[in-house]
Structure 1
């Protein structure tokens, strides 16, 4: 199996979202030969599984692919999260699509990586704030993200995400289709 194919990258980088245990994941993809799955094809396959795909930004060589479950992402935008995002130009009353449009604009307008994206990936707000306020230093533990808040809860989540990713990659390598894997995935408690 070509480990650089888009469908494999989705399985490897986005398994927790595909399994419904995390609102979103993202990864960088270098578009390759036409024989590989296209982003449009992947978007259609994922839509059937209740998952959405957005290209957050692109250049000549790479695209930043964002995979999310809209219903789970809506739950991320609590009043506290909306107030936090207002400081970065997001409208608190905006829906998921409008917030994603603002996030895409921020990639081009802020001159750096918009670190509030941690909220869009389902990271705890205290960890997103901690990362921004401490410039990525002084964290308690580093796993899927840098933890500034509840270390034990985060370590449990990191383990859950790891087991989920292993399950998806093992099944993908065994030749199972993405939808088959999504619909048969356990919750990895």
Structure 2
């Protein structure tokens, strides 16, 4: 797997491969990663270029919060994320101040606002990352303890299904990292795996 120390010039592409391959490939609605800025912030330009290229593949990138040293980047496939926001997710999010019937963009704006205001990380973000509602609810109720399994997220519900997903995410990440190390561009990989926007 790719090294977590990234060289300037391809740092954003490597971070996307390492942390966002499942979303880029269309096997997960979304992923999240932290982009640390070096002096002069060349990564900000790389991020804009990647976002522009990925938009044509149906992938969106949004900064959820940012300071001088880093940015928290949300990478998602709009159709997949909207589909993951079903009735159970709507009911759950309503308990955290997300008015029913909000558009996906409005929900993301509300999440961004909560990230800026909360004294702690808003755990409902798991819903936005495509985690099962029962697992997000279980994580909050158990304060992260007493889980059945742990992988991409802590599992409180269907452990067998989660294990299968974790394995597919792992394989996807290994493939993307390997291909980026060989010189493939992240946009090419997203087009190949997830296809262009419909």
TM-score range, shorter chain: over 0.9
Q: Is the CA contact (8 Å cut-off) linking 2:20 and 2:32 kept in structure 1? A: yes
Q: Offset of 1:110 from its aligned partner?
A: 2.3
When normalised by structure 1's length, the TM-score is: 0.93
Do the aligned partners of residues 130 and 8 (structure 1) sit closer, same or farther apart at CA in structure 2, a change above 3 Å counting?
same
Q: Is the CA contact (8 Å cut-off) linking 2:26 and 2:193 kept in structure 1? A: no
Matching of residue 67 in structure 1 with residue 70 in structure 2: no
Partner of 2:139: 131
Do the aligned partners of residues 88 and 35 (structure 1) sit closer, same or farther apart at CA in structure 2, a change above 3 Å counting?
closer
Structure 1 CA distance, aligned partners of 2:108 and 2:122? 12
Structure 1 CA distance, aligned partners of 2:88 and 2:145? 23
Partner of 2:47: 39
Partner of 2:168: 160
Q: Offset of 1:125 from its aligned partner?
A: 0.5
Partner of 1:57: 65
Partner of 2:12: 6
SS at match of 2:65: strand
CA-based RMSD: 1.6
Moved over 6 A (4+): none
Instruction: Write out aligned runs for 1:37-116 (5 A).
Output: 37-116=45-124
Structure 1 CA distance, aligned partners of 2:106 and 2:190? 27
Structure 1 CA distance, aligned partners of 2:174 and 2:182? 12
Structure 2 CA distance, aligned partners of 1:177 and 1:6? 11
SS at match of 1:38: helix
Structure 1 CA distance, aligned partners of 2:18 and 2:144? 25
| Cα deviation 1:50-93 (Å, max 9, x = unaligned) | 10000000122111011000101111111111111011110110
When normalised by structure 2's length, the TM-score is: 0.89
Partner of 2:21: 15
The number of residues matched between the two structures is: 186
Question: Where does structure 1 lack aligned partners over 5 or more consecutive residues?
Answer: none
Comparing 110-119 with 39-48, which one deviates more in the overlay?
39-48
Comparing 32-41 with 167-176, which one deviates more in the overlay?
32-41
Question: Where does structure 2 lack aligned partners over 5 or more consecutive residues?
Answer: none
